[in-house]
Every structure is written in structure tokens, then in C-alpha cells.
């Protein structure tokens, strides 16, 4: 923290200013004893067994504490707070998780802090004991959540099937019709393979499918009917997952 002290003071001052503003705003808009809002013994809003509060930046929630007794806790991807659906971005600390016997915590990709700011904080002893003893975290490979836990906690990867990140698709650049043939070209993207489908109907009814390897960026479709317009679409496959279909392109009549 030493070399960033000035920056940090500025940062914390900014956060404090935001907290004050927010407390005023929220205090006016949401009465503390609003009906239907359950609070925990610490005074935080309960979402099931999980205590939450609004993040200082008001665009996400902080996980403040845990009041259940599950072995595996799956942190939801969104929490309803003050009428908004907000993603969790931070854990304030291990307040009740390891104490109550939690062994596994599944983190959404949006969690970027586990109660300390960066590796320097950990090195400087700013965080002596962050807790979460005996807990293994489950995160998606390459996510912000992985970055957050790998500083100080054991973690494992969630398998690909549960990965909510969509596969990147591609788009058709051009279609050229020559008699009963058509040449389709598309934008190259990183994937395992391309799947092309074409039909005489714009809704792709009775479409024929063709697969192409990841290094290809064009395909010649044969045996098209004379004087018929066709429609074509493409998607990518990575692992076991497909991207969304591209926009439909027209193959002109001939």
C-alpha cells in the first residue's frame, strides 16, 4: 500500500463521499423498516441466508455475511435490492461462512474482491487473516472471480457446461450465386468449427446443414434449384457449445 498511499487516500475519500450520498438517497427512498425486507442480526438485508448491502458505487451488491448451514453455497448471479437486480461484486469478509461449516462457495463471474483490494494489500499485511478457512471456491476459468480468489484461497474450476459465457459467433460476409452453385464467405473467429445452414425459406424450414473446419472461411454449396432464392446462416461451435445463429443472408436467384 505504501507506494499507492496517496492514490488510496483519494480512493477511500471518494468511496466515503459516495457512501454518505447513498445513505442519504437510500434513506429517503427506502424506509429502514420497509415491509417485506428481512434483516439479519448484523442489520444487513437478507437474501435467503445471505446478507447483502448495496455497493458504494450503487451498481452491484456486497455479500456481508452468511446465516445458513449449507455445505455448498451457490452465490446467485443477481440479487434483488431496492427494486433492482444487481450482480454481486464483492465479499466484505468471511462473516459466518467458515464459522457455519460451509466447505464450498460457487462464485458468479462478477465477484472481483474477497474483502481486500489487491495483492499488495495481502503482502503488506493489510489483510492478516481474511478467513474462509477450509473453504474451496468454485469459479469459471478466466473470470474476475478467479482473479479474486487466487490471491488467497483454494479454488477449483466449474466445468464448461455451467459456463454462462456465450460462444462468440461469426457473420456471413458475402454470398455469390453462379448457376446452381453459391459461394458463401464468412468472418474468421476463434472456434472449433463452423456450421452453415441454408433453406429456401427465410425461417430456415427444412434447412440443410454443412459443417466446416475452423480454418475455413468459405464454402461452395452445390445443387441449388434454378430460379430459386435461398437463405443462409452460420454459427460457431466451441467445445460442446454453439454460438447464436448469424443474421440471415440471401443467396440471390439465378
Residues within the interface to Zn ion (CB under 5 A): 40, 42, 44, 51, 65
Considering only the C-alpha atoms of the chain, give the largest distance between any 2 of them, rounded to a whole number of Å: 76
Cβ proximity to Zn ion: between 52 and 114 the closer is 52
Nearest approach, Cβ of residue 211 and Zn ion (Å): 53
Residue 185, strand partner residues: 174, 218
Closest CB to Zn ion among 40 and 149? 40
Please count the other Cβ atoms lying within 10 Å of the Cβ belonging to residue 10. 11
* Complex with Zn ion: residue 94 or 121, whichever CB lies closer: 94
| DSSP-assigned letter for residue 96 | S
> Whole-number minimum distance, CB 29 to Zn ion, in Å?
22
Name the minimum Å distance from CB 34 to Zn ion.
18
DSSP per-residue codes, 184-219? EEE---SSSEEEEEEESSTT-TT-EEEEEETT--EE
Q: Which of 65, 102 has the CB closer to Zn ion?
A: 65
Using the minimum distance from each CB to Zn ion, give the nearer residue, 44 or 155.
44
CB of 67 to Zn ion, least distance (A): 6
Calculate the CA dihedral of residues 83, 86, 92, 98 and round it to 10 degrees: 100
Q: How far apart are the C-alpha atoms of 106 and 125, rounded to whole Å?
A: 27
Find where cell 447513498 sits. 22
Q: Report in angstroms how near the CB of residue 42 gets to Zn ion at its nearest.
A: 4
CA 185 to chain centre: 31
Amino acid at each position: 500500500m505504501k507506494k499507492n498511499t496517496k492514490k488510496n487516500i483519494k480512493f477511500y475519500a471518494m468511496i466515503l463521499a459516495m457512501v454518505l450520498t447513498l445513505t442519504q438517497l437510500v434513506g429517503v427512498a427506502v424506509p429502514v423498516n420497509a415491509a417485506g425486507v428481512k434483516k439479519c442480526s448484523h442489520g444487513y438485508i437478507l437474501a435467503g441466508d445471505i446478507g447483502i448491502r448495496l455497493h458504494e458505487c450503487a451498481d452491484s451488491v456486497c455479500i456481508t455475511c452468511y446465516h445458513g448451514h449449507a455445505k455448498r453455497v451457490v452465490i446467485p448471479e443477481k440479487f434483488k435490492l431496492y427494486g433492482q437486480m444487481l450482480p454481486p461484486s464483492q465479499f466484505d469478509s468471511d462473516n459466518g461462512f467458515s464459522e457455519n461449516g460451509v466447505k464450498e462457495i460457487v462464485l458468479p463471474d462478477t465477484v472481483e474482491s474477497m474483502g481486500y483490494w489487491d495483492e499488495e494489500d495481502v503482502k503488506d499485511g493489510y489483510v492478516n487473516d481474511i478467513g474462509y478457512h477450509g473453504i474451496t471456491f468454485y469459479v469459471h476459468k478466466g473470470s474476475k472471480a478467479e482473479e479474486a480468489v487466487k490471491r488467497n484461497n483454494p479454488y477449483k474450476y466449474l466445468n464448461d457446461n455451467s459456463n454462462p459465457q456465450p460462444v462468440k459467433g461469426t457473420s456471413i460476409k458475402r454470398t455469390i450465386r453462379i448457376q446452381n452453385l453459391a459461394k458463401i464467405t464468412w468472418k474468421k473467429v476463434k472456434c472449433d468449427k463452423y456450421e452453415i445452414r441454408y433453406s429456401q425459406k427465410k425461417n430456415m424450414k427444412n434447412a440443410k446443414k454443412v459443417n466446416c473446419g475452423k480454418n475455413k472461411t468459405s464454402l461452395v454449396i452445390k445443387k441449388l434449384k434454378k430460379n430459386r432464392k435461398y437463405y443462409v446462416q452460420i454459427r460457431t461451435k466451441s467445445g460442446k457449445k454453439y454460438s447464436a445463429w448469424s443474421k440471415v443472408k440471401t443467396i440471390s436467384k439465378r
